[in-house]
Structures are given as structure tokens and as C-alpha cells.
Amino acid sequence: MKNLKREDLKVYRIIKNEEKRQEEGLEMIASENYVSRAVLEALGNVFTNKYSEGYPGHRYYGGQEFADAVESLAIKRAKKLFGAEHVNVQPLSGAPANMIAYSAVLKPGDKVLGMDLSHGGHLTHGHPVTFSAKIYNFVRYKTGADGKINYRELEKMAIQEKPKLILAGFSAYTRQLDYRKFQTIAKKVGAITMIDIAHIAGLIAGKAIENPVPYFDIITTTTHKTLRGPRGGMIMCKKKFATAIDKAVFPGFQGGPHINTIAALAVALGEAQKNDFRKYARQILKNAKVLEQELKKYGFKIMFGGTDNHMLLLDVFGSKGVSGREAEIALDKIGISVNKNVIPDDKRKPLDPSGIRIGVSAITTRKMKEKEIRKIADWINRAIENYRDSRKLTKIREEVKTLCRLFPLYR
């Protein structure tokens, strides 16, 4: 970054400090990951200079030969990877992708059946504070007493509420969804099906879990998280919804796409087709299961009874008497990044909830396996149990740094 260093030393130093933070710590926020050097290089390219409103072959500005080529390549790779009939790679992120999808098939006031935030859903799945909840009528389903989705109750809700759209997907739920049951329930009530796979897209691409694309009308996702691409969004759908989705993206919701991001996405989608990525996806599941087992040994209460994907939701307040916020701060002090998170029907406030969410995607990218996961579980337990003891936290911090040196971010 010699040019940046010369032109703006302050920004250069901030970036280098963030690079150091990432190198010396363990990223365990479930929605974060590390991209490859190739993706980083593709993200910072001359396409950032280019305006490309419209779609390949149908742009509103000239000079689009290579913008068309790279967007078409990203679409082609996404179709192959997920078996999708139609793909739009222009959404700027996951939340806009969801809003776009709603606007493509719903009218204001239409009803949507989505997952409750405190039971693992996402803000954009109908939480009252969001803009989409002011436009559409969201009703929310929850998990049962066993911590899993009760599909019989979901069917009863669907028959009673008669939603226009049934939405699957989550941001903190840790169990595998039954795609066929969502499809069957939707057919019974004549609803459109949609799934948000933002968290599990990489596990699907790596063939570690079942692919939901054949079962749903509309599929939205982010392109980072487990997919290890740049920060962006993507919408896949059946051909019958293709025109509506494309019009909803542009001109309905966005202007010019970020072609530099789409170029980086094309690289990531190419990487996800390789055998190494499949091994990576399988290792994520192994690491998450070991983390679950180890944390249970330390007395942590695991929400939803365990995990079938890349993350865990812990009730740290119920397990250790430490709030989610206190646990997040303690872990940050030892160099492990997690996020505080509400648990089902949490009685504590969202900014100081009972739980924390932990993911293993990023540390798996750094080649850490079961042996390292056991060490990390020990550190998590020690940090939370000693969250007020700065001396003990400082000691653990040095242990974390030592491990990180063995697994450099970019070799």
C-alpha cells in the first residue's frame, strides 16, 4: 500500500492496525470470515471507476464490454455452484437483497410468515424496528420447547394466517432446516417460498449440507460469511420470478452496481468450486461440533440443543451468571471476537442480552482444527469465568497470540 501510505498516512495506519488486530486475534463472529488474497486484489480494482446501470447487454452507459464480461462470469459461476435457474449478483448486501425480494413479489400490507428474531431469525425477517415491517404484515414463528422448529405448529400458523410468503432462514439458529416441509406447507396455503441462506451459503456451496435452492422460489444470501467472498448480496430464484427480481433490483431499489465487488465475487465463486473448499466446509462442521461438546463440558447451556452448522448460541447468563455484553467484552480482551446475542424469549435487553453467538468459519479458514478448538473452548470458559480479573485475562491474551502466530492470516 505504498501509494496510500504516501497520500494518507492516517488511513494507512488505521488499516495496518486492523490488519494486526486480525492477525493476533481469533475472529469468531459467526457472520465474519477472511477472504483470500485473490479476492482482496480483485476488490480493489479499476472497476470501482465504472458506472454500469442495467444488466449485461442492456446498460444505460457506454464502455461496458468488460463490466458485462465480469458480471456474466459471476452469474454463470453462481448458477453452476448452487444449481440456480436465475441469479442476480447486484444487491449491495443481505438486508437490501431481502428488501428487494419482498418488493418483487409482495404488495404493501401482504402477509409474511418469518422466524422470530429472538429464536434465531434476522432483523430483516420482520422485526418491528425495520422498514420492511412498516410495509408488510409480518407474523413470526418460534422454536419449540426442544429448541427446534415445530413444523406442525408452523403448518397450523400458515393455515390460520394464510401468508403470501413463507420465509425460512436465520441469523442465530443452529439447526438444519427441513426444506421439504417448508415447501409442502407453502403449497398447502398457496404461498411463495423464500429462504435466506446468508449464514450457510458456503456450507451449501461446499456440499457439507443439503442445497435448498431446488425447494424454494426465491433464495437470498450475503456473499461473505461462510462463502468467503467480498461483502455483498445475491438473489437466486426460479425463472418465473426472474423478471420481477431483476426489475426490483434495478431500477426498483438500486442504481449502478458495484462492479469491483462483483469481480471479487466472481473470484470467490470460482474458489468455492474447488475441492479444497469442500474440505473446508466439512471441517467447519467438525470444528463446530467439537466446540459444542467442549463448551457443554464446561457447563455452558447451548441453545437449540446443539449445532448442525457453523455457529453456536450460548446462554452465558443462565450458565455462568455473566451477561452477553460482559462476556463479549471479556472475550474481546483476550483477542476472541464474538457478539452478544438474544436467546429465545430473552428477558434481558438486546444491548445487554443473556447470550453470545460464536462461529468457527474464520478460524477454520486459518486451518485450525479440532486440537485448536479444544484450546479455544478452554480460553472462552476461563475468560468468562474470570471476566473481572484483568491479570488472568492478560495471561490468556498472550496464549491466544501464540496460537495465532502458528496460523497466519495470509501465508
Q: Is 222 a catalytic residue?
A: yes
In which element (H, E) is residue 58 found? Answer: strand 58-59
Residues 6+ apart with CB under 8 A from 227: 33, 201, 202, 205, 221, 268, 272
Q: Is 225 a catalytic residue?
A: yes
Q: Which of 222, 226, 261, 365 is catalytic?
A: 222
Phi, psi of 238, deg, nearest 5: -70, 155
- Rounded to whole angstroms, the Cα distance separating 53 from 251 reads 8
Query: 222: which 3 cell numbers?
Result: 450475503
Q: How far is CA 360 from the centre of its chain?
A: 12
SS3 of residue 315 by DSSP: strand
Q: Is 261 a catalytic residue?
A: no
Q: Which of 12, 23, 51, 289 is catalytic?
A: 51
Q: Which of 164, 225, 238, 320 is catalytic?
A: 225
Count other Cβ atoms within 10 Å, centred on residue 206: 26
Q: Which residues make beta-bridge pairs with 249?
A: none
- Rounded to whole angstroms, the Cα distance separating 79 from 76 reads 5
Query: 129: which 3 cell numbers?
Result: 424496528
Q: Which of 27, 71, 116, 196 is catalytic?
A: 196
What is the bridge-based pairing of β-strands 339-341 and 355-359?
antiparallel
Q: Is 110 a catalytic residue?
A: no
Count other Cβ atoms within 10 Å, centred on residue 350: 13
Of 258, 219, 215, nearest in space to 67 by CA = 258
Q: Which residues make beta-bridge pairs with 139?
A: 113
Q: Which of 32, 53, 155, 370 is catalytic?
A: 53
In which element (H, E) is residue 5 found? Answer: helix 2-7
Using alpha carbons, list the distances in angstroms from residue 293 to 189, 279, 312, 367, 372.
40, 21, 11, 20, 14
Q: Which of 231, 340, 366, 397 is catalytic?
A: 231
What is the bridge-based pairing of β-strands 86-88 and 58-59?
unpaired
- Rounded to whole angstroms, the Cα distance separating 51 from 48 reads 8
User: Are 47 and 263 a contacting pair, CB within 8 Å?
Assistant: yes
The C-alpha cell 438444519 sits at: 176
Of 70, 32, 33, 17, nearest in space to 48 by CA = 70
User: Are 294 and 372 a contacting pair, CB within 8 Å?
Assistant: no
The C-alpha cell 471441517 sits at: 283
Report, as residue numbers or ranges, the catalytic residues.
51, 53, 196, 222, 225, 231
